[in-house]
Structure 1
Amino acid sequence: MAGRERTPRLLAHAALILGVAILVLPVYLAFIASTHGGADFLSGRVGLLPGPLLVENYGAVLFAGASTAGIPPVALMLLNSFVMAMAIALGKIAISLLSAFAVTYFRFPFRVAAFWIIFVTLMLPVEVRILPTFQVVASLSMLNSYWGLTVPLIASATATFLFRQVFMTVPDELTEAALMDGATPLRFFWSVLLPLSRTNIAALFVILFIYGWNQYLWPLLVTTDTGYYTIVMGIQRLARAASEADPVWHLVMATAILAMLPPVLVIALMQRLFVSGLTETQK
């Protein structure tokens, strides 16, 4: 009996190990390639062990960049991407919390219509409204700035909908008790709703941070100054330089590895809250 029970467990573990290997192997090969020279990468002499140029290659992309490709240091691009991702995530959460609070607890004309107008914007992603949005940003002199990178991407109908659904599950007795205790609407929002939404906020923060970090098309349009390049733009420009016979594929791989680290770190640090926000309701 014990052997029969162990067999499905071993098969499950084998399947998990195989899946992890399939996912991790390309990342490992990219890391190995980033520790060799460009000529070794093109000639296929990379192998499966780290090369001797680990410190040199990562130091070059972090602090020197690739002057032949017009790429600034990756450290600056990492900072720009971090600022953009944090501003988008925090801005979306803040605006969505307030808008969901308004349409859930306040009674005003066309309240339901206002919510559905917000919800309908889900069908209008940035790519659809990119030309008028760019024109507005340009007319407000927000090109080549953090404002231009973040403000047009802050509004989120998805987060508003999710927080509205969370607020609708709060018992009416809790709301009435807060009113009887003399709590103002903002005090009720700050002291009751925010603590109850903690895990949902954490889950959305992880998703929205990665969304902001991976933005490519919008930063490509609103930035021409290399001082505002994001890490995803840097990878694209390095890859284009490599395709033009400049052997910088090892620098492309190093930049890609560095671009993975902040999202992975965010997920690792907030894993427990992230899973709780997706699977539990702390009410």
Structure 2
Amino acid sequence: MATQTGPSSKSVLGRLLPEGVETEQVIVHGGLLLSIFLMGLPLLLALVMSTQNTTEVYQITNIGVGSEGLSNYQTALNQYGFGEYMINSVVMSVIIVVGKVTLSLFAALALVYYRFPYERAVFMFILLTLLLPVPVRIVPLFDLMARLGWGNTLMAITGPYIASATAVFLFRQHFMSIPASLVENAHLDGVGPLRFLWEVLIPMSKGMIAGVSVITFIYAWNQYLWPLIIISDQSKQVVQVGLRFLQAASQSGLTRWGLIMAGAVIALLPPLVVLIVLHRPLLKTLAIQQK
């Protein structure tokens, strides 16, 4: 009597194949979740430590929410003037974003739609400035600010960051991708350069402008060395330098890490909000395509 093994084998494989696929998906998603958790672990630890007092922070086995609650945040904002540092950083970052985007748009407009002698050499010179970041130019910049009388002013911490070769390069490449027919039609209609920029280029570059603005805001927000050098009045300092001031706070001879972590979490909020709101234009700017 012959035995029939074909159907039973197929039924077994039919049951095992979906389970194999599901297991593979579980492993992949589990690995992704583990990676996200590991990357977010420092932030989680900072959040937990911001609720702890000095004694609880130095207890390694204490990884739960501390007894201070939100009092560390109130102390940082009220007693150490962290709210004032936040306002100074917001004002500085917004000025840098507006100035850098505006200047870069005009520069890209000139490089793409105008013909002048040594055009390519000018563009290469602009890119060459990427080799000279602000920290490299600190000594001559400090001397220039002193000669202009801008020391300890808002102009001193915003002026050196207005010009940006990166933003000019991104806008130039984007403008070069715009169809030439639009330029010809605008020229035939007698549209001037400023009107062409305002009515054609900017509406077609909203995503690029938003992405550059996000990058510029985060870059300006994280500035530490130059404001520390050029600003002598503590009330005019920015939030990154304010975090350094929090390290001077001590309790029983121990650094108040709970207070420092509270300040770090507060300093993280504005760029995090900007990044969440404008993350899609940022991904397009970095040429990352989501499928």
**What is the TM-score with the length of structure 1 in the denominator?**
0.90
Regions of 4+ moved over 4 Å: 240-244
What is the aligned partner in structure 2 of residue 234 from structure 1? 242
- Letter of the 1:222 partner, please give it: I
Provide the C-alpha distance between the structure 1 equivalents of 2:88 and 2:252, rounded to a whole number of angstroms. Answer: 26
8 Å CA contact retained: 1:103, 1:111: yes
Q: 1:11 to 1:45 in 2, by over 3 A?
A: closer
- Letter of the 2:273 partner, please give it: L
What is the aligned partner in structure 2 of residue 86 from structure 1? 94
Residues 60-102 of structure 1: per-residue CA shift (max 9 Å, x gap): 101111xxxxxxx110111111111222222111111110111
Query: Offset at 1:15?
Result: 1.3
Correspondence 1:16 to 2:16: no
The higher radius of gyration belongs to: 2
Secondary structure of 2:155's counterpart equals helix
Provide the C-alpha distance between the structure 2 equivalents of 1:90 and 1:118, rounded to a whole number of angstroms. Answer: 19
What is the aligned partner in structure 2 of residue 51 from structure 1? 66
8 Å CA contact retained: 1:200, 1:278: no
Secondary structure of 2:58's counterpart equals helix
What is the aligned partner in structure 2 of residue 154 from structure 1? 162
Alpha-carbon RMSD: 2.0
Query: Offset at 1:242?
Result: 4.8
Which of 78, 92, 106 is residue 63 of structure 1 equivalent to?
78
Query: Offset at 1:239?
Result: 2.5
Residues 105-163 of structure 1: per-residue CA shift (max 9 Å, x gap): 11122222221111111111112111101111111121221111111111101111111
What is the aligned partner in structure 1 of residue 233 from structure 2? 225
Q: 1:244 to 1:184 in 2, by over 3 A?
A: farther
- Letter of the 1:32 partner, please give it: V
Residues 1-58 of structure 1: per-residue CA shift (max 9 Å, x gap): 322332332222111111111122221111111112122223446432x223223211
Q: 1:194 to 1:240 in 2, by over 3 A?
A: same
8 Å CA contact retained: 1:39, 1:247: no
8 Å CA contact retained: 2:248, 2:255: no
Q: 1:244 to 1:115 in 2, by over 3 A?
A: farther
Which of 194, 215, 232 is residue 186 of structure 1 equivalent to?
194
What is the aligned partner in structure 2 of residue 68 from structure 1? none
Sequence identity of aligned pairs in percent?
39
What is the aligned partner in structure 2 of residue 213 from structure 1? 221
- Letter of the 2:78 partner, please give it: F
What is the aligned partner in structure 1 of residue 12 from structure 2? none
Residues 173-216 of structure 1: per-residue CA shift (max 9 Å, x gap): 11001112221111111111111111111111111111000011
Provide the C-alpha distance between the structure 2 equivalents of 1:29 and 1:217, rounded to a whole number of angstroms. Answer: 26
What is the aligned partner in structure 2 of residue 7 from structure 1? 23
8 Å CA contact retained: 2:54, 2:251: no
Provide the C-alpha distance between the structure 2 equivalents of 1:243 and 1:193, rounded to a whole number of angstroms. Answer: 57
Question: Which segment drifts farther, 32-41 or 1-10?
Answer: 1-10
Correspondence 1:124 to 2:132: yes
Aligned length: 273
What is the aligned partner in structure 1 of residue 46 from structure 2? 30
- Letter of the 1:150 partner, please give it: T
Q: Which runs of 5+ in 2 are unaligned?
A: 1-16
- Letter of the 1:86 partner, please give it: V
Correspondence 1:248 to 2:287: no
Secondary structure of 1:127's counterpart equals helix
